[in-house]
């Protein structure tokens, strides 16, 4: 499970990098919520079943904040 999740996030980071550098324009609808990616879905599942899980404390909030921060700092350029 971790390899597809890591690959998906590396791809997302690459896309974010290209937007920040101005190589591509951002479509705000393509970002989605922090729960739309595989990692977000996995974290939501763990959070529901065991809210005190160590992974939630270490990864959930940074993942949520990262998605929100990128979305807010790069509004649609249409």
Instruction: Share the mean pLDDT of the chain.
Output: 77
Residue 43 CA to residue 49 CA, distance in Å, equals 10
Tell me if 42 is assigned to some domain.
yes
Percentage above 90 pLDDT, the chain: 3
71 — pLDDT class (breaks 50, 70, 90): low
> What was the pLDDT predicted at 75?
56
Range of the domain at 58: 2-73
Query: In total, how many domains does the chain have?
Result: 1
Q: Is residue 66 part of a domain?
A: yes
78 falls within a domain: no
User: What whole-number percentage of the chain has pLDDT above 70?
Assistant: 76
- Nearest CA to 37 out of 78, 67, 57, 14 is that of 67
User: 54 lies in a domain?
Assistant: yes
Mean pLDDT confidence for 39-67: 83
Give tens-digit pLDDT for 24-40: 887 766 667 778 888 88
């Amino acid at each position: 499970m971790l390899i597809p999740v890591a690959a998906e996030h590396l791809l997302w980071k690459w896309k974010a990098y290209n937007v920040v550098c101005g190589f591509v324009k951002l479509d705000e609808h393509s970002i989605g919520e922090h729960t739309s990616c595989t990692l977000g879905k996995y974290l939501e599942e763990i959070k529901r079943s065991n809210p005190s899980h160590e992974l939630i404390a270490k990864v959930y909030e940074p993942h949520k904040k990262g998605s929100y921060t990128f979305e807010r700092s790069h509004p649609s350029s249409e």
